[in-house]
Amino acid sequence: MPLEMWNHTPVTEFLLMGIPYTKGLENVFFVLFLAFYLLTLLGNLLILLAILTSSTLHTPMYFFLGNLSVFDIFFPSVGSPQMMLSLMGQSRTISYQGCACQLFFYHFLGCTECFLYTVMAYDRFAAICHPLRYTVIMNRRVCTVMTLGTWMGSCLHASVLTFLIFKLPYCGPNEVDNFFCDIPVVLPLACADTSVAQTVSFTNVGVVALLCFLLILASYTRIVISILKISSPEGRRRAFSTCSAHLTSILLFYGPVVLIYLRPASSPWLDSVVQVLNNIVTPSLNPLIYTLRNKDVKLALRKALLRGVYTCGS
């Protein structure tokens, strides 16, 4: 046991400091974050409803979109409820085990999103570059294996990170400079050498993000080449439109990842702002991104809602 631990009691709980420079604005932020959180839940539940009730949406693209909606329901639920409780004046403390669970589920769901975007890019590659063989390439078995691989791979990734961070001793201080537990704000609190854990964890996150990005880039390079070979302007426009929503979501995902994990210096205020965008704002935008220009989803959702109203009325 390190010498510095003899004079310190092991930490049993952490104090979440919240978002810096928001004193006096708690009520405003609570209403704003609650609105985004409820919008996220409603939007993604409606997408799931449309996909599940419409047989025309039982295709690989919408199967993966349904998985993304499930992710977008759970991901903001990792830290948002705790943050909103603290904004209401409730306790800012979180148990040691609760902090570990937050970190695990944050990286489990975050890695799942990263893998899902990669799988969705491959799906668009198969649909646009090999349209005649699309149903053979993306058959039910392939989609199931890809989805299971995505969730299982993410679970392994998050387990490794959580083990690395929480096998270290924590004996004070216990103030976390954020509104939830994540590697950049928890690791500096360890009262032991963190160099190995820091190197391995950030390398792990960086390699996963970079590998997924390169695979997405390879898929879209082939897609662009194939689209440019289409002679009809209308055909090119339709092909690009099927990818625009996916590309927008990818940009919204990779921006925060780069700002949080792949920059040399840490800024508590910037980290909190980026985490709010990543945890609360982006999941609420995905339903809008995938439905505003998608006639199939809007039509299926309209039919499902009308069917529900008719059922309730009768």
CATH code for the domain of 233: 1.20.1070.10
pLDDT at position 4:
45
pLDDT at position 162:
94
pLDDT at position 235:
77
pLDDT at position 206:
82
**Is residue 276 domain-resident?**
yes
Per-residue pLDDT of the chain (314 residues; tens, 9 = 90+): 444 444 567 888 998 888 777 777 888 888 998 999 999 999 899 889 888 888 888 999 889 989 989 988 999 898 888 888 888 877 788 999 999 999 999 999 989 988 999 999 999 999 989 989 999 999 999 999 999 999 999 999 999 999 999 999 998 788 888 888 888 889 989 988 888 888 888 888 888 888 998 999 999 999 989 888 888 888 788 777 777 777 888 888 777 766 666 555 566 666 777 778 788 888 888 888 877 667 888 888 888 778 777 677 66
Q: How many Å apart are CA 124 and CA 145, to the nearest integer? A: 17
**Is residue 297 domain-resident?**
yes
pLDDT at position 81:
86
**Is residue 134 domain-resident?**
yes
The amino acid at 179: F
DSSP state of 88: T
Identify the domain containing residue 132 by its residue range: 13-313
Supply the DSSP string of 31-43, one letter for each residue.
Answer: HHHHHHHHHHHHH
Residue 188 near residue 21, CB atoms below 8 Å: no
Helices (H), 263-294: 268-276, 282-291
| Phi–psi pair at 20, nearest 5 degrees | -65, 155
**Is residue 181 domain-resident?**
yes
Omega cis (within 30) before 173: yes
Residue 197 near residue 165, CB atoms below 8 Å: yes
The total of other beta-carbon atoms located within 10 Å of residue 58's CB is 12
Name the nearest CA neighbour of 249 among 75, 125, 72, 52: 72
pLDDT at position 121:
92
Helices (H), 130-182: 134-137, 140-166
Chain-centroid distance of CA 116 in Å reads 10
pLDDT at position 313:
63
Q: Residue 14: in which H helix or E strand, if any?
A: strand 13-16
3 state SS of 203: helix
**Is residue 238 domain-resident?**
yes
Q: Which residues of 91-124 are buried (b: 16+ CB within 10 A; e: fewer)?
A: ebebebeebbebbbbbbbbbbbbbbbbbbbbbbb
Q: How many Å apart are CA 37 and CA 31, to the nearest integer? A: 10
State pTM to two decimals: 0.86
pLDDT at position 84:
86
Strands, E, within 21-142: which ranges? 93-95
Supply the DSSP string of 152-208, one letter for each residue.
Answer: HHHHHHHHHHHHHHHTS---S--EESSSS--HHHHGGG-SS--HHHHHHHHHHHHHH
**Is residue 5 domain-resident?**
no
| Phi–psi pair at 41, nearest 5 degrees | -60, -45
**Is residue 96 domain-resident?**
yes
Please state the domain count of the chain. Answer: 1
**Is residue 1 domain-resident?**
no
DSSP state of 232: -
